[in-house]
């Protein structure tokens, strides 16, 4: 036996000639998360229809559909031929479980006819199905304005009936916009930035800068946990680990104290740019928000941008900290992000950082540090952890920077 899910599309349904590309990519992304379970996915305009074996737990389907971008909503559904008696029978099945099962409260019926050749109008079908509801649950009352329960019916190639509408994430399928490299720290901001970039269709690897022994193994484990938490939204990811201790010590020795944070950011951007090009990424994504900290002024961001030939995306640029924290809670990264393991930038921060650098002067200082050999050394000794679409580690310390696609 199979279970049917009706999957509602949002922005994808508005696309033009390239709509099939988005639909097919979404279909592949869903199937990747349901790997191991027999399933088929068919499509009609504005909808996908998932048939999956009953051996697949509902929780697995819910997790897959609720973490996949491109879906605005989904419902466990019952289908029937477009004949009135068959539709009544499917309605009895739908209201025999779920929110209708207790038979208490008020209800309404919402019918939509994508197939306008169906002989009944939407209102007439509402009336017919309301009769069925009253037959099964005589204590239910009709309330068309504020009902406790709703029976939905869609007339398409078949009749589809369901009683719940679960929300999806919206957005576009991951991979539809290209590939990027997320600079992932252990803080609140970067996982949220990755989530928002993925929502617009960017497929991502993650890059973390580790400064052992100044940052602990617990800090690395924290970042691995964050990578596993956002991996379902990213359709799986690779976490690259750059061992950056020697580069940071060189900066600490040679840079003016008030510029050390700026120089750290410039060195990180240099490494990230080179590695993203090697892996086939087309942009770098950071968790920076304008004026949140000393290095995130317009002058500071402009300075760090000058060290990347890749496009730099900052999805959080206009968000305040409370908005970022709220979204971190929503996506499940907040509790991990606030664990007390500092990242390398925090540990090496000066007491009075320069906030508005002169780009020409700061670039001269950067070039005088002799940092290049340390960046190349870190780049040649990257570690990597692979996370699948469900957030599980599937491989680690693979040395070859294969392209994202």
Judged by average pLDDT, the poorest of 3-12, 17-26, 230-239, 339-348 is 339-348
For residues 254 and 366, state if they share a domain.
Answer: yes
For residues 263 and 125, state if they share a domain.
Answer: no
- Looking only at the bridges linking them, the beta strands covering 178-183 and 106-113 are unpaired
The whole-number pLDDT of residue 343 equals 63
Q: How far apart are CA 109 and CA 195, in angstroms?
A: 36
The whole-number pLDDT of residue 296 equals 83
Residue 404 — very low, low, confident or very high, per pLDDT cuts 50/70/90?
very low
Q: How far apart are CA 122 and CA 168, in angstroms?
A: 26
The answer to whether residue 387 scores a pLDDT higher than 90 is: yes
Q: How far is CA 79 from CA 4, 91, 333, 381, in A?
A: 8, 9, 38, 55
Residue 291 — very low, low, confident or very high, per pLDDT cuts 50/70/90?
confident
CB-count burial class (<10 Å; 0-12, 13-18, 19+) for 318 = exposed
123 within some domain: yes
For residues 229 and 133, state if they share a domain.
Answer: no
| Mean pLDDT, the chain, integer | 92
The whole-number pLDDT of residue 222 equals 94
CATH assignment of the domain containing 97: 3.30.2130.30
The whole-number pLDDT of residue 399 equals 47
Total domains, the chain: 2
For residues 333 and 378, state if they share a domain.
Answer: yes
For residues 134 and 80, state if they share a domain.
Answer: yes
> Could you count the other beta carbons within 10 Å of the beta carbon of residue 288?
23
108 within some domain: yes
Q: How far apart are CA 191 and CA 202, in angstroms?
A: 14
What average pLDDT score do residues 227-252 get? 95
For residues 375 and 227, state if they share a domain.
Answer: yes
For residues 12 and 158, state if they share a domain.
Answer: yes
The whole-number pLDDT of residue 345 equals 59
404 within some domain: no
For residues 239 and 334, state if they share a domain.
Answer: yes
The whole-number pLDDT of residue 344 equals 56
For residues 371 and 253, state if they share a domain.
Answer: yes
pLDDT tens by residue, 88-116: 999 999 999 989 999 999 999 999 999 99
The whole-number pLDDT of residue 325 equals 97
405 within some domain: no
For residues 115 and 194, state if they share a domain.
Answer: no
259 within some domain: yes
312 within some domain: yes
The answer to whether residue 395 scores a pLDDT higher than 80 is: no
> Could you count the other beta carbons within 10 Å of the beta carbon of residue 69?
25
pLDDT tens by residue, 122-148: 999 999 999 999 999 999 999 999 999
Range of the domain at 286: 178-396
CATH assignment of the domain containing 368: 3.40.50.620
182 within some domain: yes
The answer to whether residue 403 scores a pLDDT higher than 70 is: no
Whether 251 and 271 have beta carbons less than 8 Å apart is answered as no
The whole-number pLDDT of residue 340 equals 83
Last-in-domain residue among 167, 200, 224: 167
The whole-number pLDDT of residue 240 equals 96
Q: What percent of the chain has pLDDT over 70?
A: 95
Entry pTM = 0.92
For residues 126 and 195, state if they share a domain.
Answer: no
What average pLDDT score do residues 198-225 get? 92
The whole-number pLDDT of residue 400 equals 45
For residues 234 and 366, state if they share a domain.
Answer: yes
The whole-number pLDDT of residue 353 equals 79
The whole-number pLDDT of residue 401 equals 47
Last-in-domain residue among 111, 137, 167: 167
Half-sphere exposure for 129 (CA within 13 Å, toward CB): 33
The answer to whether residue 293 scores a pLDDT higher than 80 is: no
Angle at 234 between CA 229 and CA 288, to 5 degrees: 80
CB-count burial class (<10 Å; 0-12, 13-18, 19+) for 20 = exposed
Last-in-domain residue among 111, 146, 167: 167
Residue 405 — very low, low, confident or very high, per pLDDT cuts 50/70/90?
very low
The whole-number pLDDT of residue 394 equals 87
351 within some domain: yes
């Amino acid at each position: 036996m199979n279970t049917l899910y009706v999957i509602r599309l949002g922005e994808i349904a508005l696309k033009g000639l390239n709509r099939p590309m988005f639909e097919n990519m979404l279909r592949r992304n869903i199937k990747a998360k349901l790997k191991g379970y027999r399933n088929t996915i068919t499509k009609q305009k504005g909808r996908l229809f998932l048939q999956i074996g009953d051996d697949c737990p509902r929780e697995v389907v819910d997790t897959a559909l609720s973490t996949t971008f491109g879906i605005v909503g989904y419902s466990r559904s019952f289908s029937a031929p477009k004949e009135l008696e068959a539709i009544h029978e499917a309605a009895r099945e739908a209201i025999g479980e779920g929110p209708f099962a207790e038979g208490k409260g008020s209800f309404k019926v919402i019918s939509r006819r994508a197939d306008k050749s169906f002989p009944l109008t939407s209102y007439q079908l509402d009336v017919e199905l309301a009769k069925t509801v009253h037959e099964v649950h005589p204590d239910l009352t009709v309330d068309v304005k504020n009902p406790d329960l709703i029976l939905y019916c869609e007339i398409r190639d078949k009749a589809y009936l369901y009683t719940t509408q679960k929300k999806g994430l919206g957005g576009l399928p991951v991979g539809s916009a290209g590939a990027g490299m997320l600079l992932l720290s252990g803080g609140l901001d970067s996982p949220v930035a990755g989530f928002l970039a993925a929502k617009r269709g960017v497929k991502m690897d993650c890059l973390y800068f580790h400064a052992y022994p100044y940052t602990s193994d617990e800090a690395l484990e924290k970042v691995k946990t964050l990578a596993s938490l956002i991996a379902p939204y990213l359709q799986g990811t690779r976490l690259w680990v750059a061992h950056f201790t020697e580069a940071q010590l060189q900066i600490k020795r040679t840079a003016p104290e008030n510029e050390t944070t700026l120089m750290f950011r410039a060195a990180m951007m240099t490494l990230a740019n080179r590695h993203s090009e090697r892996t086939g990424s087309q942009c770098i994504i950071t968790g920076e928000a304008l004026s949140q900290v000393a290095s995130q002024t317009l002058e500071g961001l402009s300075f760090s941008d000058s060290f990347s030939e890749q496009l730099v995306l900052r999805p959080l640029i206009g968000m305040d900290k409370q908005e970022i924290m709220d979204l971190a809670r929503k996506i499940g990264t907040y509790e991990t992000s606030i664990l007390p393991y500092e990242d390398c930038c925090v540990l090496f921060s000066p007491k009075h950082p320069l906030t508005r650098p002169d780009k020409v002067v700061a670039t001269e200082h950067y070039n005088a540090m002799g940092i290049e050999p340390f960046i190349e050394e870190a780049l040649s000794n990257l570690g990597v952890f692979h996370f699948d679409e469900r957030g599980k580690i599937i491989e680690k310390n693979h040395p070859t920077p294969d392209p994202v696609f």
